[in-house]
Amino acid sequence: SAFDIREFACGWGAAFVNITATYPIHKIIFRQMLHGVKASSAFEELRHEGISFLYRGMFPPLAQKTLSLSLMFGVYEGTRKPLVENLNVNPYVAKVWAGIIAGTVETALMPFERIQTLLADSAYHTNFKNTPQAFKYVWLGYGFRELYRGLLPILFRNGPSNSVFFVLREEAHARLPHRDNSLYQSIQEFFAGALIGAFTSSVFYPLNVVKVYMQSTIGGPYVNFVPVLIHIYKERGCKWRNVYKEFFAGALIGAFTSSVFYPLNVVKVYMQSTIGGPYVNFVPVLIHIYKERGCKWRNVYKGVSINCTRAFFSWGIMNMAYEQIKKMIY
In the prediction, which pLDDT does 25 show? 82
Q: Which of 178, 190, 213, 186 is nearest to 299 (CA)?
A: 213
In the prediction, which pLDDT does 139 show? 92
Interval 82-105: pLDDT, tens: 999 999 999 999 999 999 999 999
State the alpha helices, DSSP H only, in the chain: 5-35, 39-49, 59-85, 91-106, 110-120, 131-142, 151-175, 182-214, 226-235, 240-243, 247-250, 255-261, 263-271, 282-292, 297-300, 304-329
In the prediction, which pLDDT does 270 show? 76
Residues in contact with 101: Cβ distance below 8 Å, sequence separation at least 6, in sequence order:
75, 76, 79, 159
d(CA 292, CA 177): 50
In the prediction, which pLDDT does 12 show? 94
Residues in contact with 83: Cβ distance below 8 Å, sequence separation at least 6, in sequence order:
89, 93, 94, 97, 98
In the prediction, which pLDDT does 309 show? 66
d(CA 253, CA 152): 25
With the CA atoms of 58, 25, 300 and 264 taken in that order, what torsion angle do they form, in degrees rounded to the nearest 10? -50
As a whole number of Å, the CA-based R_g of the chain is 19
In the prediction, which pLDDT does 8 show? 93
Q: What is the CATH number of domain 5-329?
A: 1.50.40.10
In the prediction, which pLDDT does 39 show? 80
In the prediction, which pLDDT does 258 show? 37
- Which residues of the chain are modeled with pLDDT < 50? 243-260
Interval 275-289: pLDDT, tens: 777 777 778 888 888
Three-state SS at 80: helix
d(CA 234, CA 237): 5
As beta bridge partners, residue 273 has 217
Q: Break the chain into its structural domains and give their ranges.
A: 5-329
pTM attached to this predicted model: 0.66
Q: Which of 199, 185, 184, 213 is nearest to 300 (CA)?
A: 213
Instruction: Provide the b/e sequence for 249-277 (b: ≥16 CB within 10 Å).
Output: ebbebbeebbbebbbbbbbbbbbbbbbee
